[in-house]
């Protein structure tokens, strides 16, 4: 009995810091935001939860939604396909420099989005005149370069967790490398692919640092993304209710996708990992 309690206590102690951070940086701010939305706002002088819908009538929201859909349709799929392709190549290739290549892919992920913008602007130079309609490709490229490397390492780790016996059995049955990757490896790591897709989707919807830093060079407006509009409401016009409402509107799609992913997959089921 005492031994059983010990084994239950150790995991609780290990996850306690995570729950503390989740409480103080996640649930408490979310609870405060839900209460703040009902306060009077420039878009809803009477104040109510209808601010969540009225804020969407802002003239800046529709253009920013177009930018968001562009990132969802281009940045997210390209990142997923590129990450999986590179991860499968690393996993299928047994060479001496394999460990070094994993480090090479990891290094860009260490660089934050803001630093990536500075590096890109240093190499591009201020003398280059960008067509405003093409800046979205630059932002997508910056987001890709700063995040794809770390995802390659993560997905490579998921591929290495596949049982060697399963792979050997597939080879005995006549699978070549392409069939092994498409029919065996990818289905076995599908839960990790879904997890990556959710985080990339949330990053695309809530993108901020890349367009915000490019604003200083005149490449984007100060409301290129929805997050920038929320920032302008909260800290430029002192309309915290309006900024909070738009922030919650950005949060809702990610939460819905996350709930569907958890309920419709075996990502959190213990027997799926045995």
| C-beta separation of 159 from 88 below 8 A | yes
What pLDDT, on a 0 to 100 scale, did the predictor assign at position 247? 93
Lowest model confidence (mean pLDDT) among 44-48, 184-188, 205-209, 216-220: 216-220
Of 226, 228, 203, the C-alpha closest to 213 is: 228
What pLDDT, on a 0 to 100 scale, did the predictor assign at position 35? 92
pTM for this predicted structure: 0.83
Query: How many other CB atoms sit within 10 Å of the CB of residue 198?
Result: 17
- The 3-state DSSP class for residue 236 equals coil
Of 215, 213, 201, the C-alpha closest to 250 is: 201
b or e along 109-118 (b: 16 or more beta carbons within 10 Å of the residue's beta carbon)? Answer: bebebeebbe
CATH class of 61-273: mainly alpha
C-alpha to C-alpha distance for 253 and 249, rounded to whole angstroms: 8
C-alpha to C-alpha distance for 80 and 86, rounded to whole angstroms: 10
The pLDDT tens digits for 110-128 are: 665 567 667 777 766 566 6
The pLDDT tens digits for 62-111 are: 999 999 999 999 999 999 999 999 889 888 876 666 667 667 766 666 66
The residue extents of the domains of the chain are 61-273
Of 230, 227, 204, the C-alpha closest to 51 is: 230
- Stated as kind and residue range, the H or E segment containing 219 is none
Q: Which residue has the higher pLDDT, 26 or 218?
A: 26
């Amino acid at each position: 009995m005492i031994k059983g309690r010990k084994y239950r206590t150790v995991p609780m102690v290990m996850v306690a810091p995570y729950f503390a951070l989740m409480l103080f940086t996640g649930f408490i701010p979310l609870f405060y935001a839900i209460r703040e939305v009902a306060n009077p706002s420039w878009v809803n002088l009477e104040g109510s939860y209808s601010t969540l819908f009225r804020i969407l009538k802002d003239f800046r929201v529709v253009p920013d939604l177009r930018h968001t859909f562009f990132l969802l349709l281009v940045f997210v799929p390209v990142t997923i396909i590129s990450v999986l392709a590179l991860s499968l190549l690393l996993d299928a290739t047994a060479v001496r420099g394999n460990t070094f290549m994993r480090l090479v892919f990891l290094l860009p992920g260490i660089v934050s989005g803001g630093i990536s913008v500075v590096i890109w602007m240093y190499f591009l130079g201020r003398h280059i005149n960008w067509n405003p309609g093409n800046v979205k490709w630059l932002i997508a490229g910056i987001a890709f370069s700063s995040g794809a490397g770390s995802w390659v390492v993560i997905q490579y780790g998921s591929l290495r967790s596949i049982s060697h016996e399963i792979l050997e059995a597939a080879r005995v049955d006549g699978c070549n490398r392409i069939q092994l990757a498409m029919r065996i490896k990818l289905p076995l790591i599908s839960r990790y692919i879904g997890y990556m897709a959710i985080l990339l989707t949330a990053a695309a919807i809530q993108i901020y640092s890349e367009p915000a830093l490019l604003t200083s060079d005149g490449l984007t407006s100060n409301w290129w993304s929805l997050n920038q509009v929320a920032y302008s409401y909260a800290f430029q016009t002192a309309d915290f209710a309006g900024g909070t409402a738009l922030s919650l509107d950005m949060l809702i799609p990610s939460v819905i996708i996350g709930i569907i992913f958890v309920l419709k997959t075996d990502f959190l089921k213990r027997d799926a990992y045995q």
